[in-house]
Amino acid sequence: MITLTINGLKVQVEEGTTILEAARFLGFPIPTLCHQEGLSPYGACRLCVVEIGEEPKSKLVSSCTYPAEEGLVVRTGSKRVVNARKMIIELLLASCPQSKTIQDLASAYGVRRQRFRQEHEDCILCGLCVRMCSEQMMAKAIGFRGRGKERSVGTPFDVQPDVCRLCGGCMYICPACSLRCTYNEPDKAICNACANLNPPCIQKERFNDLMCYMSPCVACEIDH
């Protein structure tokens, strides 16, 4: 067992526990975007940062990937942490304002404006869909490609691969677009991942008894 201090409270956790899990166990809220129970930690969105160590040598780390260490001192809501989170949310809002998840985060943290040039991107590259596909669906149908501004999610060569079972898991888990997907109109679909994947209900002849993750599914509603 490892003993660490979170916001002044001592807590004992098993080896291998992340700071995020330990903090949530104690009931301290830490916002996350790219973390999901059941999927491996990834550390991409940086929303879950917490401050570790003693000042002035303290630093911020992503709690979802940082393992609990013996004697570690953690602050989950220090001024530095909150300021960083607000800036991250501002950056998210500037890129992806239509996402309900991000709007909720902004209102929870009192971020009322964003000062950058407004963009409307479909994907925040949190990688949830990629991990969902490979770790839960065992399909590995989608992945990342490119770097920097060119980085995107997609299928190899932008064609629907055989390994894709059209389960819809990627769309179900997406924090940026799941609430705006236009399932049966792939042309209008907004995130790169699902643009290449027709939902199963459209191809009923091929996939009739598939596990479908979409609820509510716009396609089904239109069908009925």
Judged by the rule CB under 6 A, the positions of this chain that interact with ligand FES are 32-35, 43-48, 62, 64
Give yes or no for residue 56 binding other proteins (CB under 8 A): no
| Rounded-to-integer distance, Cα 54 and Cα 175, Å | 34
Give yes or no for residue 72 binding other proteins (CB under 8 A): no
Give yes or no for residue 25 binding other proteins (CB under 8 A): no
| Rounded-to-integer distance, Cα 166 and Cα 25, Å | 35
3-state class of 24 per DSSP? Answer: helix
Residue (45 or 214) nearer to other proteins, CB:
45
The Cβ of residue 191 has, within 10 Å, a number of other Cβ atoms equal to 21
Query: Shortest approach of ligand FES to residue 95 CB, angstroms?
Result: 15
Residue (92 or 133) nearer to other proteins, CB:
92
The first and second tokens of residue 182, run together, are 């236009």
Give yes or no for residue 29 binding other proteins (CB under 8 A): no
210 binding partner (options ligand FES, other proteins, none; Cβ < 5 to 8 Å by kind): none
66 binding partner (options other proteins, ligand FES, none; Cβ < 5 to 8 Å by kind): other proteins
Q: Looking up tokens 């149908």, which residue turns up? A: 141
Query: Shortest approach of other proteins to residue 131 CB, angstroms?
Result: 13
Across-strand partners of 73?
5
Looking at 19, 22, 74, 127, which residue binds other proteins (CB under 8 A)? 127
The secondary structure of 156-208, three-state, reads: HHHCCCCCCCCCCHHHHHCCCCHHHCCCCCHHHCCCHHHHCCCCHHHHCCCCC
Give yes or no for residue 31 binding other proteins (CB under 8 A): no
Closest CA to 137 of 169, 172, 162: 169
Applying CB under 8 A, the span of 100-108, 140-148, 176-184, 209-217 interacting with other proteins comes to 140-148
| Rounded-to-integer distance, Cα 53 and Cα 83, Å | 18
Per-position b or e across 81-116, b if 16+ CB within 10 A of its CB: beebbeebbbebbbbbeebebbbebbeebebeebee
Query: Shortest approach of ligand FES to residue 50 CB, angstroms?
Result: 10
Give yes or no for residue 43 binding other proteins (CB under 8 A): yes
88 binding partner (options ligand FES, other proteins, none; Cβ < 5 to 8 Å by kind): other proteins
Can you give the binding site for other proteins, defined by CB under 8 A?
43-46, 49, 59-62, 65-67, 69, 80, 83-84, 87-88, 91-92, 94-95, 115-117, 124-127, 144, 146-151
